[in-house]
Amino acid sequence: MFRLLEKISHGQHPTLAMLSVLKVALHWQSLRLYSMVLTQTHQS
């Protein structure tokens, strides 16, 4: 994970790279939550 951050922040502003990584992580989390809710509503 840290290696990935190093690669992304290379030649960039470190905090900007961190923010983009955070945004992607949050996006995946919300997607997973959304699919979980969908499957639960389909089951009931």
Q: 3-class SS at 13?
A: coil
Asked if the model's pLDDT at residue 30 lies above 70, the reply is yes
Can you tell me the distance from the alpha carbon of 41 to that of 39, in angstroms, rounded to the nearest whole number?
A: 6
**pLDDT score of 32:** 93
Q: 10-29: per-residue pLDDT in tens?
A: 666 678 888 888 999 999 99
From 36, 2, 40, select the one nearest 21 (Cα to Cα): 2
Can you tell me the distance from the alpha carbon of 36 to that of 44, in angstroms, rounded to the nearest whole number?
A: 13
pTM attached to this predicted model: 0.48
- Measuring CA to CA, how many Å separate 1 from each of 5, 7, 15, 18, 21? 6, 10, 16, 12, 10
**pLDDT score of 27:** 93
